[in-house]
Structure 1
Amino acid sequence: MTGVVITGWSTVSPAGVGRAALAAAAATVPAVATVPAAATVPVGASAGGGWPVEPLPAAPVDVTALSDEPLPTTTGHALVDFDVRAHLGRKGTSFYDRATALAVVACGDALRDAAVQVDDGNRARLGVVLGTSLGSFRSTSDYTRETLVQDKPYLVNPVLFPNTVMNCAAGQAAIRHGLRGVNATVATGPLAFLDALRYGTNAIARGYVDAMLVGAVEEFSPHRAWTTSLTGQPVPTGEAAAVFLLARADQSGWVGPRREAEVLALATAYGPGGGPAADRALTGCVTRAVRRAGIDPAEITCVFTGETGPEDTDEFAPACAALGHVPARMRVSRLFGRCDAATGGLALATFLAAPPTDAAGRLALLTARSPDGGTAVAIVRGWPDAGPADR
């Protein structure tokens, strides 16, 4: 076990800003009980239960207001009316790109949710790590285009350059909230949130910091929308920032008013070329994580995957094979669209926002897989009193 707990969190997603908005969105979408037939497990194994059934897909919204450029479709999953100035004011936000704005707001809200006041006495021991695919795709593309179409080199606005750097969001979050601890960005696409979670727990366990803001962010842009469309993805493009405050369980000054959950184990692996090799890598990840967590695999009643298609079981089937039973499956892309790096963060937030149970603790398995064969998993225990809250 890692000994690291989650003491507060927040999201900025198509549902709105904050944990209450996400919980309300998840609760209002009709659900359907499905266990994919393709998820085969060893003979004699049984299907698990004890978790809310998977939601039906949420309806996308009109996103044409977010771009002056052509879009492959007029709808997507985005927070169309998001205005960073309404949350942070005008000062210092003029040149935020959308990804940075989403991340900075989510970080501030997570600090408030955990009741952490950043001051000179603790700022050096609080860090931030964010996962992403490649930072702001739009900022990078637009700046590159400017260097080609404007007179060289004078009419390229240098103020826009920082937004092209992948660690822009994490750096701006640290500047805005006065954080001087470890600052990092993990750019591993679909694995990014779980990799960031691993990075953050390691930084705490090794004593580099006492607490970490750990999260991931993806913005809605025409660039991501066209990528989704041209690659034939079955789920519309989405956007989100999900951020969690992590601290050691024995650090009384950081655990806040209550402990939300404990990160029991994490594991990563690589299956060269994807396919069967990646299946084996993911199965091995789950097996190692279960062993490190010291739990009975039967205790895991839900698997949160990054899968999008209805028949896609590239993550769920290997996980079931390792667990020896078929738990419920939750694909958060059905609620929030294709959010790439932020998908894992939304999965963890959805887990923590679920109604409390009478059990001693709820266990969930989070999985992620990249096209090149990378795999990652996390096992998290949520406590009975860590359900939705109006905070």
Structure 2
Amino acid sequence: MTTRQTHLTTARQTPEVAPDAVYVTGWGVASPLGMGAADFSKAFVEERDALADVTAMFEEKLPADRAFAIPDFQVRDHLGRKGTRFFDRSTALALVACDQTLQDTGFAVTDENRGQVGLILGTTSGSVKSTSDFSRETITEDRPYLVNPVLFPNAVMNCAAGQAAIWYGLKGVNTTIAGGRMAGIAALRYASRSLRWGDADALLVGAVEEFSPHNAWLTHLPGGSAPAGEGAALFMLERGEALLASGRRPDAEIMAVASASADPADRPAFVEAFADCVRQALREAGVGPGDLWAVAPGSGPESAIETATLEAGLGGDTVRRLPVARLVGECHAAQGALQLAAVLAHHRQDAALDGRPALITSFTPEGGVGAAVVRGWQR
């Protein structure tokens, strides 16, 4: 395995952009903490309480009265009424985050470039509520039609990615990655390779998860410690050559992404595989544990697995941990993308962190483990 030597910059220095490296050039969020990078950054750094009363959101019973949801979210408030009437919640959140990202980047999709601009979106299994509601109607509604065919696209797993491509005229790579809590890291890995291989010039990359009774109960039943949440976070990824040509300043560099799998039933072996993944990402990034300014774990400090992994992978758990789960809840597929947003939020607010790397970690109950190393700058 090759190790890339990295020269860490100090605060306010101009980033040293490498032509073949992959960079975040803008990002957007649709979250209870805020809409857009600026609002989310301020709220996350201030550690605002975003728990909301969700009792009026659905007719179905919920396991808790409060969640990290957006009760008053209406897609028409952000994208207008035309063409948005039948969007499911996942699609709506994803499109709003895409819109925020394009605005933050200042990226214009044109007839000249749209063929090389694509979207990589992580999910658990699409909109579970839409799929469940559509399936239920086949049993409860009157014959012969049974269901509303207009709603069928919402029951397809890649609905959000497809609708976003249509809405914004993206004709490049369009991929939906069903990875659960690993979806964000998996999307980063997929997108980084696609850019390096020349499959695209620019990619909107991220993940989405909606709040629904289905997801709320999924979060509650295993005895999860964090309330259910929802959100979408998207990032514009481009190769360094595009930044050098335009003179733009990046938000971050994707230094390394690593993933693996192990048997979660064998706790010691699983933790060691997770720690190996962390060490691999650090080696590929060319940084050591002492270079990290923070770790953004997917779960809270009560997670024995992630705590043990960080102690083993970093040679001790002394690196600052960002309270992602405490501030956004359990967002399943969107968790990894929101972890990256949390790191970049601090960079937006604190120039003293310029050029310093951070670690993002994630795992799934089924055995997936992943880690990413990014370094950011204020922009």
Please, what TM-score do these two structures have when normalized by structure 2? 0.90
Task: Give the whole-Å Cα distance in 2 for the aligned partners of 1:302 and 1:62.
Answer: 31
Q: Which has the higher helix share?
A: 2
- Structure 1 residues 221 and 359, CA, compared in 2 at 3 Å: closer, same or farther? closer
The DSSP-based 3-state class of the residue aligned with 1:235 is coil
Q: For residue 85 of structure 1, what is the amino acid of its counterpart?
A: R
Identical pairs, percent: 49
Q: For residue 4 of structure 1, what is the amino acid of its counterpart?
A: V
Indicate conservation of the 8 Å contact 2:33/2:50, yes or no: no
Indicate conservation of the 8 Å contact 1:273/1:372, yes or no: yes
Give the deviation of 1:331 after TM superposition: 3.2
Q: For residue 19 of structure 1, what is the amino acid of its counterpart?
A: A
- Structure 1 residues 59 and 241, CA, compared in 2 at 3 Å: closer, same or farther? closer
Q: For residue 358 of structure 1, what is the amino acid of its counterpart?
A: A
Structure 1 residue aligned with 2:96:
105
The DSSP-based 3-state class of the residue aligned with 2:276 is helix
Determine which of 359, 367, 370 is the counterpart of 1:373: 367
Give the deviation of 1:28 after TM superposition: 3.0
Task: Give the whole-Å Cα distance in 1 for the aligned partners of 2:307 and 2:25.
Answer: 28
Q: For residue 204 of structure 1, what is the amino acid of its counterpart?
A: L
How many residues are aligned here?
Answer: 357
Structure 2 residue aligned with 1:170:
161
Structure 1 residue aligned with 2:180:
189
The DSSP-based 3-state class of the residue aligned with 2:309 is helix
Equivalent residue runs for 1:84-123 within 5 Å: 84-123=75-114
Task: Give the whole-Å Cα distance in 1 for the aligned partners of 2:141 and 2:268.
Answer: 48
Structure 2 residue aligned with 1:301:
293
Give the deviation of 1:115 after TM superposition: 0.6
Q: For residue 381 of structure 1, what is the amino acid of its counterpart?
A: R
- Structure 1 residues 187 and 359, CA, compared in 2 at 3 Å: closer, same or farther? closer
The answer to whether structure 1 residue 149 and structure 2 residue 119 are counterparts is no
The DSSP-based 3-state class of the residue aligned with 1:11 is strand
Which is further off, 149-158 or 180-189? 149-158
Indicate conservation of the 8 Å contact 2:243/2:250, yes or no: no
Indicate conservation of the 8 Å contact 2:354/2:376, yes or no: no
Give the deviation of 1:29 after TM superposition: 2.7
Indicate conservation of the 8 Å contact 2:272/2:312, yes or no: no
Please, what TM-score do these two structures have when normalized by structure 1? 0.87
Give the deviation of 1:254 after TM superposition: 8.2
- Structure 1 residues 86 and 373, CA, compared in 2 at 3 Å: closer, same or farther? same
Indicate conservation of the 8 Å contact 1:10/1:242, yes or no: yes
- Structure 1 residues 255 and 150, CA, compared in 2 at 3 Å: closer, same or farther? farther
Task: Give the whole-Å Cα distance in 1 for the aligned partners of 2:275 and 2:165.
Answer: 36
Structure 1 unmatched runs, 5+: 31-57, 387-391
Which is further off, 297-306 or 268-277? 268-277
The DSSP-based 3-state class of the residue aligned with 2:82 is coil
- Structure 1 residues 276 and 212, CA, compared in 2 at 3 Å: closer, same or farther? same
The DSSP-based 3-state class of the residue aligned with 1:264 is strand
The DSSP-based 3-state class of the residue aligned with 2:249 is coil
Task: Give the whole-Å Cα distance in 1 for the aligned partners of 2:213 and 2:67.
Answer: 11
Which is further off, 313-322 or 136-145? 313-322
Task: Give the whole-Å Cα distance in 2 for the aligned partners of 1:323 and 1:24.
Answer: 29
Structure 1 residue aligned with 2:7:
none
Task: Give the whole-Å Cα distance in 2 for the aligned partners of 1:256 and 1:201.
Answer: 21
Task: Give the whole-Å Cα distance in 2 for the aligned partners of 1:374 and 1:11.
Answer: 25
Give the deviation of 1:360 after TM superposition: 5.2
What are the superposed Cα offsets for residues 228-258 of structure 1, whole Å, 9 maximum, x if unpaired? 2222211111100000000001124886842
- Root-mean-square deviation (CA), in Å? 1.7
Structure 2 unmatched runs, 5+: 5-19
- Structure 1 residues 256 and 191, CA, compared in 2 at 3 Å: closer, same or farther? farther
- Structure 1 residues 85 and 135, CA, compared in 2 at 3 Å: closer, same or farther? same
